[in-house]
Chains A and B, each alone.
Chain A
Amino acid sequence: MDKFTTLTGVAAPLRMINVDTDRIIPKQFLKTIKRTGLGEFLFNDLRYNPDGSEVAGFVLNQSAYRNAKILVAGDNFGCGSSREHAPWAILDFGISCIIAPSFADIFYNNCFKNGILPVSLPEEQVSTLLEGAESGANAIFTVDLDNQLVTGPNGELFEFEIDPFRKHCLFNGLDDIGLTLEKIAKIETFEQKRSVQYPWL
């Protein structure tokens, strides 16, 4: 997993609440057996007409946002299905930070497993950042994980909260499984106790 330290880039505004993972990546793209290549289909039904042509009004089809690195969106982002194809598609498109007032639990977890930083900020701050993001190619944001700061295009500066362990793993690009396997002795001890206490399991 890539390290996430500081990210500077264009932020795309998506003024929608309850953006579900079906919307982020519809079911027909879940037939893949790979993690890569999904960026092309990110927000498929919002981004393309049924005949495959682009929906001109959709934010990621506008020239200023085609290379967006950050997405600013409404409340409860990533609700619904647990599909990790959603963060894979977002990352494959080139976005590695999402700013929203709140996130659904499973999606939030999945982001951290893929080097994506989900930033949760109060509604009024996100509203300010949405306005900033609407300034097209000038919508340059900087997200500094170490100092837990988001800087908007007009110098707006907001501090965000993040769980220290998740921050540590993201900042250093750590592999969860590797970390857990360092605790293998504890797992073995637990399993021995479990086989006595809960023999039916």
Chain B
Amino acid sequence: MNLPRTLFDKIWDGHLVHEQDDGTCLIYIDRHLVHEVTSPQAFEGLRVAGRGVRCPEGTLAVADHNIPTINRAAGITEETSRIQVETLERNVSEFGVPYLPLNDSRQGIVHIIGPELGFTLPGATIVCGDSHTSTHGACGALAFGIGTSEVEHVLATQTLIQKRPQNMRITVDGRCGTGVTAKDVILSIIAQIGTAGATGHVIEYAGPAIKELSMEGRMTVCNMSVEAGARAGLIAPDEVTFEYLLGREMSPKGGAWELAIADWRALPSDENAVYDREISLDADDLVPHVTWGTSPQDTLPVTSRVPNPESEVDAGRRTSLERSLSYMDLVPGTPLAEVPIDRVFIGSCTNGRIEDLREAAAVAAGRQVAQGVGAMIVPGSGLVKEEAEEEGLDKIFVDAGFEWREPGCSMCLAMNADRLEPGERCASTSNRNFEGRQGRGGRTHLMSPAMAAAAAVTGHITDVRDLIDK
């Protein structure tokens, strides 16, 4: 009788090429996503060592981090950005790696296009030189971010040297109420366990509130696993997953689909499987969340007030809190829902999918972006953009005074021209509120797309439930 195994155990065991006596594992990588920022030095390494790409068909490259989101026809005007994208194009051509160019409608953020094209599949191992690779875990794939040296290692060998991470399960009971989304679920989890709360672990999200999420919502949850320090996030594949993947461009077809789905149905964790850590929370009581500080763990319900450092007993944390509040220019005790904003960014690998845009559009419809606020919608991919335009969402946004942009990472990390000016305060659907993340001196408040749209139309952080017909 075999020991009961978790979803993570099954995928890990199925990809183990070799395990040394000291526990160091060589694991096989099925899918490798490559982008322009973390790959040039890896391809250069291959070139210097005279090595090739072992499995080009398991590799997919796209430019997303460092590209303009307006006026694409003019090309990339910023020289260093252009060189980086041209370097990627030269590398993929030299090494025979499939590539989606900027003018391809399938171009988009790596973590949006993987699942969207069916490149991401349940039970697979997926890596990318980007920490938000955890997103793909929503499909029941073991997916994690790696550094550039490891990118080179995967390109050359299609494997990675890894230590087996530990299992952690987070069970979310109940169900999310109106105006409460996947983003609020994951923000509240990070607030509870902290940014290092899951270091060394793979988190499996379970429970009725997770099951009830769409694939888009599940991707939002898994995406921010890394903000809790996790190696990866996982959700067991089910009918929602299969329905999402069926018929996608790179999904298996015909007999292969039948074979695959039979295998995927055996992936969920066995009953009685043991986790190294277990945490649970209830979605019934959840309200929309926003961040107030400079770490994703600095999160509170929108109904709260800016915290007071004086109530923090630990001296180190108190100093850190004071520094955050000073950077954010917030006064302790201020109701969060009264904090005015200058900019709104809706997009990113966290919240740049079609459902996110629908949620934001539902709030924006028939309203106007507040005076003095600059609001930008950046679809996560060309396909998301097309779908949104077919549904008329672009028109809703433009009529309400939002800018409608081309797909890319944009102001999530502000590598391109989309960035905050010093002192500007932004309601953002992205994943990191670090100092300077969206531009030096910029102040970021993370929240859901519906909450960001609500902030855009009122000009201050707003409980979106106040704008929804009850």
Contact = CB atoms under 8 A, between A and B. Distances in A.
Interface of A: 15-18, 20, 22-23, 26-28, 30-35, 45, 50, 74-76, 79-84, 87, 102, 104-106, 109-110, 113-114, 163-165, 176-177, 179-181, 183-184, 186-187, 190-191, 194, 198-201
A84 B199 contact: no
Contacts of B153: 176-177, 180
Contact of B22 (A26, A163, A184, A191): A163
A177 to B, nearest CB: 5
Given A83-B38, A199-B256, A199-B259, A180 B161 contact: yes
Nearest to A77: B196
Nearest to A175: B49
Interface of B: 17-18, 20, 22, 24, 26, 28, 30, 37-38, 40-41, 44, 49, 51, 58, 65-66, 80-81, 83-84, 87, 121, 123-124, 129-131, 145-150, 152-153, 156-159, 161, 163, 195-196, 199-200, 226, 229, 231, 252, 256-257, 259-260, 263, 295, 316-317, 319-320, 413-415, 422, 432, 434-437, 440-441
B124 A84 contact: no
A84 B156 contact: no
Contacts, number: 174
B195 to A, nearest CB: 6
A33 B41 contact: yes
Across the A-B interface, the 8 shortest Cβ-Cβ residue pairs: A113-B149, A200-B252, A84-B147, A33-B40, A110-B147, A31-B80, A76-B196, A82-B145
A35 B169 CA distance: 38
A177 B40 CA distance: 17
Contacts of A20: 295, 432, 434
A109 B437 contact: no
B199 A30 contact: no
Contact of A105 (B18, B38, B84, B229): B229
Nearest to A189: B17
Contacts of A199: 256, 259
A131 to B, nearest CB: 14
Contacts of A27: 413-415, 437
A174 B176 CA distance: 50
Contacts of B157: 177, 180-181, 184, 187
A15 B131 CA distance: 25
A187 B158 contact: yes
B17 A80 contact: no
Given A79-B196, A82-B131, A84-B148, A180 B24 contact: no
Given A81-B131, A82-B130, A200-B257, A18 B145 contact: no
A74 B315 CA distance: 13
Given A33-B40, A177-B153, A200-B260, A165 B22 contact: yes
A165 B20 contact: yes
Nearest to A36: B41
Contacts of B28: 187, 190-191, 194
